[in-house]
Structure 1
């Protein structure tokens, strides 16, 4: 069963089927109509010029060391255990709040380091770090 007529002659077709070309052009036209408003979605504003330098203030670092006998050192200066809470509260009230670096001797009881951590937490310090030395191979 044949759907079309076919001539047995070997004639060259002299006309071009324009329907697929028109379909492609209509699809491209619709794509451009949709995407052009999306590409320009900003409002043109002429902003004033200013020369301001960004302020990148890094918080200060406070070093709290605990030696092997359990003595506390605040920035390499020995302090009494009773004075430690007051120093921590003063530093916690500063803006920006400094970082507290705790250095504990490996021979010190963990209890002394834990007490320093608890005092820092009660004072309101939020940035607490531990300083260690890398292992030598």
Structure 2
């Protein structure tokens, strides 16, 4: 009878998870983030040069590519070949 109680207490002790390493890692990560967060807020003001050029008018030409069931290729309703 005594051996059964001893086994139960041993299995109960082995079933517990040691969270100390987890807490250590979490605290180290917390410290790292607390130290690096203020560094992200700092910066240097830079005066960038102004561009004095005219904008280019670009007309966009749309291209429609169609491949039908007969393996024919059309570009803007014009039949073309692969070669």
TM-score range, shorter-chain basis? 0.3 to 0.5
Question: Larger radius of gyration, structure 1 or 2?
Answer: 1
Greater strand proportion: 1
